[in-house]
Amino acid sequence: MAKIDLKKKENIKKQISPGKVIIPAVIGVLAVFGMLFFQIRGKDVSFNVVNFTFITVIFLFIAALFMMMRDVGYMWRFKILSENKVTWFQAFRVIMLWEFASAISPSAIGGTGVAVVFVHKEGISVGKSTAIVMATSFLDEMYFLIMFPLIIFAVGPESIFSTGNSAGLNFDNQFFYFAVLGYFLKFAYIIFISYGLFINPVIIKKTILAVFSFKPLRRWRNDARRAGLDIISNSKELKNKPFSFWFKTSLATFISWTSRYWVVNAIFVAFFVMKSNHFLLFAKQLVMWVMMLVSPTPGGSGFSEYVFSEYLKEFMPQVAGIAIITAFVWRLFTYYPYLLAGVIIGPKWLRDKFKKTKNT
C-alpha cells in the first residue's frame, strides 16, 4: 500500500510540478510581447488615453475583490458538496491547487483529473471525492449552457460577435466558430456527466474501469472498482438531495463565475472612460470563455490574450498596443495568481498529505 501511495505521490508531483509554471508563463509573456511588437511596429504610440488616477487604484482594488468573491464562491460550493466535512482553509487549499492544475493544463482538459486526489486527501472517500468533482463540473458547465443562449438572446448575435472590424454574425468571423465549437464540447460533456450522475452511474464506473484496464494502471484496478461502487452510491445520494442543496450550489456557482467576468469591467473603468454598455462587455466575456475551451495551450496562454485583445478591442481606445497590454493586466488578475499559489501551496501540501509514506 505504501508503494502505491508513493507512486500516487510521484504522479501528482509530476502533474502539479512548480516547474510546469514556466511553460504557460513563457507562452503568455512571449505572446504578449509578440503581438505588442506587431501592433506598434512603425506607428506612433501614445498612452495618454489611459487614466492613472485615484479611480484607477480604487477599481483595480475592486477587480481584486471580484476575484476574491470568485474564489469564495468556489469554496462555499465545495463545502456544501462535501456536507461541511472540510474547513474553510481546506476548501481554500483545494481550490487553489485545483486552479493551479487547470492553469498548467490545456483548457479543454483542465485540472479535473487531479482534483479528485486533492479532495480525497482532505479526508473524503475516493468515491465521494469523484462525485464532488463531477458535481462541480456539472454545475460549471450548466452555468455556461444556460447563460450562453440567454446572453445571445438578450444582447443579440450581431452585437455579441462583433469585434470592431467585423460586422457581427457572419461566416468570416472566426470567433463565431470558436464559440460554437466550445459550446458543442461543453454540451457533449454535460450530457455525459448528467447521464452518469443522475441516470446511470454504472457508465461512469465502466469508464473508470476501462481507463484502468491499460497496463500501466492495472495495479490500481481494484481501487478503481471500489471507487466506481462508491460513485454509484454517492450518485443516489446526489439524486435525493433537496432543492435547497442544488439552489445553494447553483447560487455559489453563479456568484463565482459572474464575479470573474466583472473583473474586466472593473479593469476597463480603472484605465479608460467607459461609455460603452457594461452588460455587453460582460456578455462578450462569457462567450470569450466558451471560445477559450478550444485552446491547446496550458491555461489558454497566448490564445487567451489574443482573443481578449481582438474580441474586446471595441471597448478600448483605438491606440496601438493598448488592447494587448490590457489583456496582460487582465491575466495578471485572473491567471498568474493561481500559478503563484500553486508554487507556494503545492510542495507543502505534497509533504503533509503523503508524509506517512516516508515512515513506511
- pLDDT score, position 201: 75
DSSP code for 167: -
- pLDDT score, position 19: 66
Cα–Cα distance for residue pair 58/77, rounded to 1 Å:
29
Over range 229-254, report the average pLDDT. Answer: 84
Over range 173-179, report the average pLDDT. Answer: 73
Ranking 34-38, 51-55, 246-250, 273-277 by mean pLDDT, the lowest is 273-277
Amino acid at 67: M
Ranking 48-57, 204-213, 238-247, 258-267 by mean pLDDT, the lowest is 204-213
- pLDDT score, position 9: 56
- pLDDT score, position 252: 96
| pLDDT tens track for 95-150 | 999 998 888 877 655 666 678 888 988 888 877 887 888 889 889 989 988 988 88
| pLDDT tens track for 70-81 | 999 999 999 999
- pLDDT score, position 70: 95
Amino acid at 60: L
Cα–Cα distance for residue pair 286/156, rounded to 1 Å:
14
Backbone angles phi, psi at 106, to 5 degrees: -55, 145
Residues of the chain with pLDDT > 70, as a percent, come to 74
Question: 106: helix, coil or strand?
Answer: strand
Grid coordinates given for 288:
470569450
Cα–Cα distance for residue pair 155/160, rounded to 1 Å:
7
- pLDDT score, position 358: 44
